């Protein structure tokens, strides 16, 4: 117990500590959600890269596959850029 303080000071300190606790919990939820979203985007980027490697072997047979490969590379680059934000 704090000596020399009155009841009003203790209530203000209690309210301030409650506010700080709520703020810390809010920050925790924000960063927890942000980390989960980044993990999901990284998994999506890896899944999107799987067709790219399979197309590399078939690229000599069909010229349309070159365009498809380029679009997949652009999509992968954009996903990585989103992860870095």
Establish if 70 belongs to a structural domain: yes
pLDDT at 8: 60
Task: Judge whether 2 lies within some domain.
Answer: no
Mean pLDDT lowest among 29-33, 37-41, 78-82: 78-82
Report d(CA 13, CA 5) in Å as an integer.
11
Residue 63 backbone phi and psi in degrees, to 5: -65, -25
CA torsion sign for 15, 17, 18, 20 is positive
Neighbours of 5 (CB within 10 A): 11
Mean residue pLDDT across the chain: 75
Q: Domain range for residue 33? A: 7-84
pLDDT reported for residue 81: 77
- Whether 72 and 48 have beta carbons less than 8 Å apart is answered as yes
Q: Is residue 1 part of a domain?
A: no
Total domains present in the chain: 1
Residue 28 domain-assigned (yes or no):
yes
Q: pLDDT-derived band of residue 42, with 50, 70 and 90 as boundaries?
A: confident
Tell whether the model's pLDDT for residue 3 goes beyond 60. no
């Amino acid at each position: 117990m704090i000596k020399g303080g009155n009841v009003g000071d203790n209530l203000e300190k209690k309210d301030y500590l409650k506010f700080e606790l709520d703020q810390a919990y809010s920050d925790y939820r924000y960063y927890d959600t942000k980390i989960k979203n980044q993990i999901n985007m990284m998994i999506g980027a890896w899944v999107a890269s799987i067709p790219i490697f399979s197309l590399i072997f078939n690229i000599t047979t069909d010229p349309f596959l070159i365009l498809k490969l380029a679009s997949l590379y652009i999509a992968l680059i954009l996903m990585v850029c989103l992860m870095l934000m």
